[in-house]
Amino acid sequence: MSGPRIALVTPILPVPHDLARGRYIHETARALSQLATVRVMFPQVRYPRLPGLAPRSFLEGTVEAGYRLPGIDLEAYSYPAIPGLSRAGNGITGGHALLPRLRAFAPDLVLAYWVYPDGYAALRAARRLGVPCIVGARGSDIHVRSGLNRWLTRRTLAAADAVLTVSQAMRRAAIADYGVDPGKVRAIVNGVDTAVFHPRGRGAMRARLGIDRDARLVAYVGRLVESKGMHELLAAFAAIAGRDPRAMLALVGDGVMRAQLAALVAARGLADRVWMTGGVEPAEVAEWIGAADVLTLPSWSEGYPNVVVEALACGCPAVVSDVGGAREIVGEGSGILVPPRDAAALEQALEQALARDWDRAAMARAMARGWDAVAADTLDACQAVLRVHGRPSALAVSAGGIDAP
C-alpha cells in the first residue's frame, strides 16, 4: 500500500460484548486503509475484578491480543487501571504500553481518536519517536469533562499537531471552551454505508421482526446508559402508550442500564409494548430502523450522532436532542429537535413526528456522504500535517507541553 504509514490509536471499536461501540471509527479505519498503510492500535484498560470498581458508563470487558475486525490491521492490547482512581495516570500508563507497538510499526504519523487518556498517550509516544500526532475528538471526550479530566483534555488538545472533530459545533467548542488554535481544528463529519442503511419497506421489516403492521413504533438505537436520555425516553413513551394502544418502543442496543430498564418497563406494565434487542449487527439495526415510524435519540450530549444519519438514510425521521452537531443533520423536513433532559418536550415531539406525513424518500436522498469521503478528508488532514512538519525524524518539537515517557 502506498501513502503514509498511519498508526490509528483508539479505545472505541466494536467488541463482542458491545457491537455498537465505535462502528463509525471502524468504518473510517477500514476506508482509510484503502488509501494508506494503517495499523489500528486498540488500547483497553484492564480493571481489577473487585466489588464496586466496575465502570459505570460502559460494558466492561477486554478482547484478546488476536482479536480481529474486517478490513483493518488491528493490534489489541491492554494496560492496568482502576476506575476513577487512576485517571490522572492512565495517559502515562497508556503511553508506555503504546510506545513499543508504535516503534515496531514505525509510522509517519499517529492519529488518535478519543482525547484523554488515549490521545494524551498517543502524543507522548509519538513525541518520543519524533512523529506528529493528530487527535480526534468524538463527543463526550470534550463535552463531558470537568476538573482534572478537563485540564488534561485541554493540555492534550493544545499539544496536538492538529485536532479533528466530527461536527462544526464540536469545532467551535474546542476553540471556545479549550482555547485550541482555530487554524489547527478541522471538522470532518461522519458518513453512512448506504449499502446497509437505505429505505426498506416498513411492512416487510415488521413482518420479519414480528411487529404488528398497525403499530406506531418508536425506535432508539444506542447504548443503554443514563446520559442517552433513557429515563426521559421511558417517561415520554409511557405517557404516549397510556393514550394509544398501538404505541410500541424498540430499544436497540446494550449497556449498563439494561437490567434496570427492563425492571422499569415491567413496573410500568409495558413489558408487552417494549422490545429490548440487546446488541445487534448493523444489518439488523437497519431492519429495526426500517420498521420504525420514528427514531429518537434524547441524549444529554453528542458529537455528531451517526445513528441519526443512518436513520435518515433509511428514510426514517428523527426526534433528537438539540445537542452537539444534531442540528447539522436534522432539518425541518427530516425531524424535530428537542431540549435535552425534558421528557414533556420529548413526548410532544414524538407525538408530532408519529402524526406527520414525512417525505421519506427525500430525506434518504440527502444522506449520500460515504465513508470513502470521510477517509479522503482524513488523509488530507494527515498529509497537511506531514507537509508542515517535513521529514518524520524532525517532528519532535511540534508536541510541546507533553512530557516524553
Rg over CA atoms, the chain: 21
Identify the pLDDT of residue 59. 61
Q: Is residue 166 within 8 Å of residue 304, measured between CB atoms?
A: yes
- Whole-angstrom distance, CA of residue 120 vs CA of residue 143: 17
| CB atoms near residue 40 (< 10 Å) | 24
Q: Is residue 185 within 8 Å of residue 175, measured between CB atoms?
A: yes
Q: Where are the alpha helices (DSSP H) in 210-305?
A: 230-243, 258-267, 282-291
Nearest by Cα to 110 from 159, 72, 160, 166: 160
Domains of the chain in sequence order: 5-191+371-399 (3.40.50.2000), 202-365 (3.40.50.2000)
- Whole-angstrom distance, CA of residue 103 vs CA of residue 115: 21
Q: Where are the alpha helices (DSSP H) in 160-305?
A: 168-178, 202-209, 230-243, 258-267, 282-291
Identify the pLDDT of residue 76. 96
Q: Is residue 69 within 8 Å of residue 105, measured between CB atoms?
A: no
- The partner residues of 355 in beta bridges, in order of sequence, read none
pTM of the predicted model as reported, rounded to 2 decimal places: 0.87
Torsional sign, CA 142, 145, 148, 150: positive
DSSP 226: G
Which residues in the chain land under pLDDT 70? Answer: 1-2, 48-60, 82-88, 143, 146, 391-405
Using the CB atoms, write b or e for 84-114: b if 16+ within 10 Å. Answer: eebbeebbbbbbebbbebbeebebbbbbbbb
Whether omega before 51 lies within 30 degrees of 0, making that bond cis, reads: no
pLDDT tens for 258-269 read 999 999 999 999
C-alpha cell at 52: 464496586
- Going from the C-alpha of 161 to that of each of 32, 37, 149, the distances in angstroms are 19, 20, 20
Q: Look up residue 36 and give its amino acid.
A: A
Nearest by Cα to 194 from 309, 320, 69: 309
- Whole-angstrom distance, CA of residue 119 vs CA of residue 110: 10
Identify the pLDDT of residue 190. 94
Q: Kindly write down the DSSP assignment for every residue of 301-322, as one continuous string.
A: --SS-HHHHHHHHTT--EEEES
Using the CB atoms, write b or e for 123-142: b if 16+ within 10 Å. Answer: bbbbbbbbbbbbbbbbbbbb
